[in-house]
Amino acid sequence: MAEQKRKFFLTDNKEAAAKMAEEFFGKSINEIVIEDNSGAPEDQTRLFHAFMGWDRELDNVNADYRLSYESDGVYLELYMARGTGYPLDKTALVKYIIRKNISGLDEKAVNALAAKGEGRAKTAPAQKEQIIGEDIEISIAKDESEARVTLLPAEPGGAAIEFGAAKQKLLLAGISHGLDEAALKAMIDEKHYGQSCTVATSTPPEDGIDGTIIFHFQTDKKTAKPKELEGGKVDFRDLDLFVPVAEGQVLVTREFATEGTPGTTVKGRAISQKRGKEAVLPKGKNVTINLEKTEMLAKSTGMVEVINGSVNVSNVYKVDGDVNMGVGNIDFNGSVHITGNVNAGHVIKATGGVFIGGVVEASEIYAGGNVEVKRGMQGMDKGRIEARGSISLLYIERGVAIAGGSITVDAGIHSVIRAGDSLYAKGKRGSIFGGQASASTEIVVNSLGSVSHIQTDIEVGAMPHKRDRLTFLEGELQRLNGEMVKLDQLDAYLKKTKGKLDEATWDKLRRSGLENRRVNTEVIEEYTDEMNSLSSEMEQATEGKVHVFGTVHPGVRITIASDTYRVNEETTYATFKYRDMKVIWSACEMRKG
């Protein structure tokens, strides 16, 4: 505390108070201001406030406090702030009284005087004053991430705190980790009173690194996106849909996740780290995984495709020319490559991809992989293309195109177009008008609808068949887990009946149980991986967007999640998205080209 300039004197007149003040301060009365703060009559004992200084100094005096150790007790004196001075710091007052270690402290008297704000009160019986030495005040963060120390000054004659004593106080407070002894010593040696200093910090945990999947063949999430040339042109003939592979070729490698390292708080508590998430090898058809589960290889020569996140290898069935009456329908376990057209009335089924070099008339195409139609589809309300992978075609008129992946088209006319990933209409026309178009992630077009205001329904979000698939998988997993419980019961029965049951019967039951357990385990693993992938897609259903570089015409309805936006006037260069439970639009968020 600073030099004492203020003091209360209890007497019955101002003259006596002045004498007492001259004696206490050792100054002439001309250098002392005397004020009567009691308001009592002149013939009664009153409390006088003496201030060492000049009248003008009273315009800027901070509040202050003193303890006076007298023959009849310990008195607390509080001095109110004057003018622009700082008010009483009650927290500092409490800390000071605690440090003085006063015996028999009357806390009620202290609180009453503090509430009054100014005056003098007896707060303890008479006793010898304990001179305060240097001390430290310790503050620990709630999450124990750091500990801070404030060096408290000594009173005149008080002892300095030693480094060892300060360190011991920290240890007693529970600080056992991350102590910065140099910072603590510097604060003590350099006497940084009143300054909070960090002297211990926690060691944060190091999270594990997620496992990774490395593809060793050309791949792209948007596989069917056409190559864009200079000048805004699009080359629909250069899509790189199929990649040839040889038997035994390494397709994918995996690096395992790491555990990470736990952290430690300043109190020595462990902070849990987050273990890296294991990557799942995207096993599909006609591939194999090594025993270490670090590599996935092709089982045969053919072509490799990524279908709904899984890597598949398949063979190719090629037709040189048109699919007509001379060829008939095609149902092939692999991929189909047709150089010509597909005439009306035909059905083509392939477990892999389908490539068609010409036009598809009113026919049906079903593919387990990607479908590429170099020209387009004249559906005549009968044409249909369904692919578990992506679809690319120049145009589709009065047809249906449904893809598990993305769809790329120059023009969609009075058709039903459903993309499990993204839908792109970005060619020379890049338009969709009439019918319905939907995608689970985004739709990118030049224009939507037409000047004739024909109704065109647009939707982005989770695809209905994926919701159905998720429900099916949940039911199947429940059933399979029930089967595993029955197999556990069978194992228990076999243990009890070993040596009692006919040996041939017992062995037959055992082998049957082992085989069923193996099959069920493989199916459970496969279904669980698929469920996790579908659940992740469903969580992103509200993040779908529609990007339009040109014009959206009246008659267009845009649905995202649970809301539908009806376009009543022409809107240009816009992005439609879902925010706060409704569909809104803003300037287009995607650059063309």
Tell me the per-residue pLDDT of 27-65, one tens digit each, with 9 for 90 and over: 888 888 887 766 555 555 667 777 777 666 666 778 888
Percent pLDDT > 70 in the chain is 91
User: 581 pLDDT exceeds 80?
Assistant: yes
Strands 582-587 and 32-36: unpaired
- Burial (Cβ within 10 Å: 0-12, 13-18, ≥19) of residue 176: middle
pLDDT tens digits along 424-464: 998 889 999 999 999 988 999 999 999 999 999 999 986 65
* 142-156, 235-249, 256-270, 294-308: the lowest-pLDDT one: 235-249
**Encoded tokens for 324:** 């007509």
**Which residue's structure tokens are 């399979």?**
480
d(CA 147, CA 181): 12
Gap between the Cα atoms of 470 and 541, Å rounded: 14
Joined together, the tokens standing for residue 415 give 């058709």
Say if residue 528's pLDDT is above 50.
yes
Residue 332 confidence (pLDDT)? 79
Q: Is the pLDDT of residue 137 over 50?
A: yes
pLDDT band at 222 (very low <50, low <70, confident <90, very high): very low
Cβ neighbours for 529, distance < 8 A, ≥ 6 positions apart? 280
More confident residue, 591 or 378: 378
Q: What is the pLDDT of residue 548?
A: 96
pLDDT at 234: 56
pTM: 0.45
pLDDT over threshold 70, residue 131: yes
> Could you report the per-residue pLDDT of 102-117, keeping only the tens digit for each?
999 999 999 998 888 8
Checking if the pLDDT of 94 tops 70, the result is yes
215: left (phi over 0), alpha (psi -120 to 50) or beta: beta
pLDDT at 314 over 90: no
User: What is the pLDDT, as a whole number, of residue 246?
Assistant: 84
Identify which of 463, 485, 405, 450 has the alpha carbon closest to the alpha carbon of residue 555.
450
What are 358-410's pLDDT values in tens digits?
999 999 999 999 999 999 999 999 999 999 999 999 999 999 999 989 999 99
Q: Determine the Cα–Cα distance for residues 81 and 580; give it in Å rounded to an integer.
A: 53
What's the pLDDT at 293? 93
Q: Which residues touch 352 (CB under 8 Å, ≥6 apart)?
A: 303, 305, 312, 314, 315, 316, 334, 335, 336, 367, 368, 369
How are beta strands 456-460 and 431-439 bridged, if at all?
parallel
Supply 240's token pair: 């790189």
Which tokens in the block code for residue 582?
Answer: 């409704």
For residue 575, the model assigns a pLDDT of: 96
- Confidence tier at 237 by pLDDT (50, 70, 90): very low
- What H or E segment, with its residue span, contains residue 175? none
**Sole residue written with tokens 């004196």:** 77
Q: Given a cut of 90, is residue 22 above it in pLDDT?
A: no
Contacts of 361 by beta carbon, 8 Å cutoff, 6+ apart: 341, 342, 343, 344, 345, 377, 378, 379, 380, 383
pLDDT at 333: 73
Q: Which helix (H) or strand (E) holds 519?
A: helix 503-539
If pLDDT is split at 50, 70 and 90, which confidence band does 177 have? very high
pLDDT confidence tier of residue 223, bands split at 50, 70 and 90: very low
Q: φ, ψ for residue 370 (rounded to 5)?
A: -90, 155
State the pLDDT at residue 250. 96
**Where is 517: in which H helix or E strand?**
helix 503-539
Name, in order, each residue with C-beta under 8 angstroms of 228's C-beta and a sequence gap of 6 or more: 234, 235, 426, 593
What's residue 295's pLDDT? 96
Picking from 373, 422, 332, 369, the residue whose alpha carbon sits closest to that of residue 243 is: 369
Cα-to-chain-centroid distance, residue 106 = 54
- Map tokens 């622009």 to a residue: 84
Q: What's the average model confidence in pLDDT over 205-229?
A: 76
**Which of 43-52, 160-169, 319-328 has the weakest average pLDDT?**
43-52
